[in-house]
Amino acid sequence: MDTTQYYAEIDSPLGKMLLIAEGDLLTGLYFYKTSNGFGRLPEGEEVSPDDITIFRETSHQLQQYFEGRLRVFDIPVKFEGTDFQKRVWNELFTIPYGETVSYLDIAKRINNPGAVRAVGLTNGKNPISIIYPCHRVIGSNGKLTGYGGGIDRKEWLLYHEGALRKAPQQTSLFDN
């Protein structure tokens, strides 16, 4: 199995995103954190998103998602993390498009209702955003809480999916 690491940048309606892969498996999908980039880039070889099959397929499916034509992703992934983290991240994939659940709901689904804070921390470390939809997890009180890509992006994604009724205000993060 090819364990070479690759990374590439793609554009999205929410700004630049970073794709990371190991061989033919997606291992990371991140939003720019600041106006000047991701901070530290991953180790590995930088390539064009068109050069690697997994990047082409991820870009294609993300484009369909942003156009409202795709609700469930079919991308081969690889997670690096503890068993607990992997259980939480895999549970994210089961949250239906256009719906939200709470951190407590996730904790109950993995048979660990006392682990709400740990679920929140793990959700915040999700390495494959959008595809493993951590943006669909909200507070038990219905409030939008924490999102590694920023609350504005979380709100936009939930509105895009129909989970929120009110359109978010356009902000500078939409400017490419």
The catalytic residues are: 134
Distance CA 61, CA 17 (A): 14
CB-CB neighbours of 10 under 10 Å: 16
Task: State whether residue 104 is helix, strand or coil.
Answer: helix
Secondary structure letter of residue 39 according to DSSP = S
Distance CA 10, CA 28 (A): 13
Distance CA 87, CA 159 (A): 27
Residue 17's beta-bridge partner residues? 10, 31
In single-letter form, the type of residue at position 122 comes to T
- CA trace torsion 123, 129, 132, 133 (10° rounding): 80
Secondary structure letter of residue 167 according to DSSP = P
